[in-house]
Amino acid sequence: MKKTSLTFYFTFLVIIISVFIFSGNRTSRLKKIKSTDTLRILTDNNANCYYLYRGSPMGFEYDLAQSFAQYLDVKLKVVTPEWNKMFSSLQNNEGDIIAANLTITDHRKEHVDFSKGHLTIRQHIIIHYNNRSIKSLSDLNGKKIHIRSGTSYHQRLNQLISRGLDIELVLYKDLPTEEFIRMVADKEIEITVSDSHIARLNRRYYPQIRIGIPIEEEQQLAWAVEEGDDELLGEINKFFDKIKESGEYSKIYEKYFANIEIFDYVDIIKFHQRIDKRLPKYKPIIKKQAQKYGFDWRLISAIIYQESHFDPWARSFTGVKGLMQVTLTTAREMGISNRLDPAQSIRGGVKYLKTIYRRFKEIEGMDRMLFALASYNIGYGHVRDAQEIARNKGLDATKWSVLKEILPLLRYRKYYQNTKYGYARGTEPVRYVNRILTYYDILRQRSIS
Note the pLDDT of residue 255.
80
Q: At the topology level of CATH, where does 28-110+225-257 sit?
A: D-Maltodextrin-Binding Protein; domain 2 (3.40.190)
Let me know if domain 123-216 sits in CATH 3.40.190.10. yes
Check pLDDT > 60 for residue 434.
yes
Q: Do 266-446 and 28-110+225-257 have the same topology in CATH? A: no
Residues designated catalytic: 307
- Judge whether residue 4 has pLDDT over 70: no
pLDDT for residue 21: 47
| pLDDT at residue 176, rounded to an integer | 85
**What's the sign of the alpha-carbon dihedral 59, 60, 63, 65?**
negative
More confident residue, 357 or 18: 357
DSSP 17-60: HHHHHHHHHHHTHHHHHHHHTEEEEE--BBTTTBEEETTEEE-H
Is the pLDDT assigned to residue 449 strictly greater than 50? Answer: no
The domains of the chain are located at 28-110+225-257, 123-216, 266-446
Helix extents (H) in 186-247: 196-205, 230-246
| d(C-alpha 338, C-alpha 328), whole Å | 9
Q: What is the mean pLDDT of residues 137-162?
A: 94
pLDDT recorded at residue 317: 52
Lowest mean pLDDT among 30-44, 69-83, 420-434: 420-434
pLDDT of residue 447: 64
Q: Which residue has the higher pLDDT, 412 or 324?
A: 324
Q: How far apart are CA 155 and CA 148, in angstroms?
A: 11
Calculate what percentage of the chain has a pLDDT beyond 90: 62
pLDDT mean across residues, the chain:
88
- Per-residue pLDDT tens over the stretch 270-316: 889 999 999 999 999 999 999 999 999 999 999 999 999 899 988 87
* Res. 320 pLDDT band, cuts 50 70 90: confident
Residue 302: name the closest of 429, 201, 443 by CA: 443
Confidence of residue 358 (pLDDT cuts 50, 70, 90): very high
* Predicted pLDDT at 373: 96
Question: For 381-393, how does the pLDDT look when each residue is reduced to its tens digit (9 = 90+)?
Answer: 999 999 999 999 9
Give CATH for domain 266-446. Answer: 1.10.530.10
Residue 53: per-residue pLDDT: 56
Tell me phi and psi for residue 300, to 5 degrees: -60, -40
